[in-house]
Amino acid sequence: MKKSMLLVLSAILLFSFALAGCGSKSGESSSSGSAPEESGGKKLKVGMVTDMGSVNDKSFNQSAWEGLQKLKEDFGYEVKFLEPKNDAEVIPSLNQFVKNKYDLTWATAETLDAAVKQIASENPDAKLGIIDAGVEVPNVASVLFKENEGAFLVGVIAGLMTKSNKIGFVGGMEIPVIKRFEAGFREGIKAVNPDASFKPLYTGQFVRVDMGKSAASTLYNEGVDIIFHASGLTGNGVFNEAKERVARGERVWVIGVDKDQSLEFGDEITLTSMIKKVDEAVYQISKDLADGNFPDGKITYMGLKEKGVDVAPTSSKNVPQDILDKVEQYREQIIEGKIQVPTT
């Protein structure tokens, strides 16, 4: 009895010595990454904190992480991400970067705004960036996308392509950013096809594929033939439902979001996608910091004009040229300010 107790204790001791022994030297050697020696400008350390999502979400967070990786390739920046597992971990995660003297820390979601505001005020020397929220603190660069403008254009496509004259929308949660998608889409449809009926549906979840599938099923059963989704991972369920119906011979479509989702789900079901260039924004603003033009305390708006939102370039596979020409006309009008797209 006593012997085995001793055994256990000594095992633990040995183990903890092993832990202490490997020391901080190995830590330094492995964390330096693959920074090339040459190339001008400062080599920055840039961190990123997600909104409890994964950098492999095939959408928003992944896009931001791709922007950072491009910085690593192009300029040898040191980049790293943290994925908080719950709300309470958000602030410690941001602090992990700030207290380790990272040059810039990105927060890639609207829901992180309060945390970013707090950390930025507590650490006036640190620089932070946030996507999808406006945080008006002197050392924070905020990026807001005009999703409503991009959604307007895919709304034009949907309004002109629908056969049943019923168009649906599947949203994640009813938060301002998703509302912008819905509002733009609705107005785009109304502009070209005022008779079409529009049915929005919110699942309340960004990570539930099954709920996306049942929402899509509900809409398609009501006669909707085109669904635009802005619901992250939930949207994968919308694609699954469309795929099954197309296989059964129904002609239904999905409009993808954030990235060109036809590359992921195929052209048979993806009519087009509204892309949101998170990677572009992260890349550009991080680079601005190195060049000394960091937009501190400012909100950078990324609309059609700034090429922050757009219609996927592969749209011509399914959308006839005359409709795409119409889209271009509306794009011009929005950029020139002749059309103001509402946000709610």
Q: Which of 91, 140, 242, 254 binds another protein (CB under 8 A)?
A: 91
Q: Which of 35, 41, 74, 114 binds another protein (CB under 8 A)?
A: 114
Q: How many residues bind another protein (CB under 8 A)?
A: 48
Q: Which of 43, 66, 69, 113 binds another protein (CB under 8 A)?
A: 113
Q: Which of 43, 69, 89, 297 binds another protein (CB under 8 A)?
A: 89
> Is 106 near another protein (CB under 8 A)?
no
Mark the segment that binds another protein (CB under 8 A) among 4-12, 143-151, 153-161, 258-266: 4-12
Q: Which residues of 66-105 are buried (b: 16+ CB within 10 A; e: fewer)?
A: bbbbbbbeebbbbbbbbbbeeeeebbebbbbbbeeebbbb
Across the chain, which distance is largest between two alpha carbons, in Å?
85
State which of positions 203-242 bind another protein (CB under 8 A).
204-207
CB of 14 to another protein, least distance (A): 10
Q: Which of 86, 221, 249, 325 binds another protein (CB under 8 A)?
A: 86
> Is 6 near another protein (CB under 8 A)?
no
Interacting residues of 3 by C-beta distance below 8 A, sequence separation 6+: none
Please state, as a whole number, how many other Cβ atoms lie within 10 Å of the Cβ of residue 42: 12
Long-range contacts of 323-332 (CB under 8 A, 24+ apart): 323/156, 323/157, 323/160, 323/161, 326/156, 326/160, 326/192, 327/153, 327/156, 327/157, 330/152, 330/153, 330/156, 330/188, 330/191, 331/153, 331/304
x/- track of binding to another protein for residues 156-175 (CB under 8 A): ----------------xx-x
CB of 57 to another protein, least distance (A): 12
> Is 15 near another protein (CB under 8 A)?
yes
161 in helix, strand or coil? helix
State which of positions 46-65 bind another protein (CB under 8 A).
54
Count of alpha carbons within 13 Å of 150, Cβ hemisphere only? 34
Q: Which residues of 277-310 are buried (b: 16+ CB within 10 A; e: fewer)?
A: bbbbbbbbbbbebbeeebbeeeebebbbebebbb
CB of 203 to another protein, least distance (A): 9
Structure tokens, 14: 């040995």
CB of 219 to another protein, least distance (A): 20
Nearer to another protein by Cβ, of 88 and 338: the residue is 88
Binding residues (CB under 8 A) for another protein: these are 1-2, 4-5, 8, 11-12, 15, 18-20, 22-23, 26-27, 30-31, 54, 80, 82-89, 91-93, 95-96, 99-100, 110-111, 113-114, 122, 133, 172-173, 175-176, 204-207
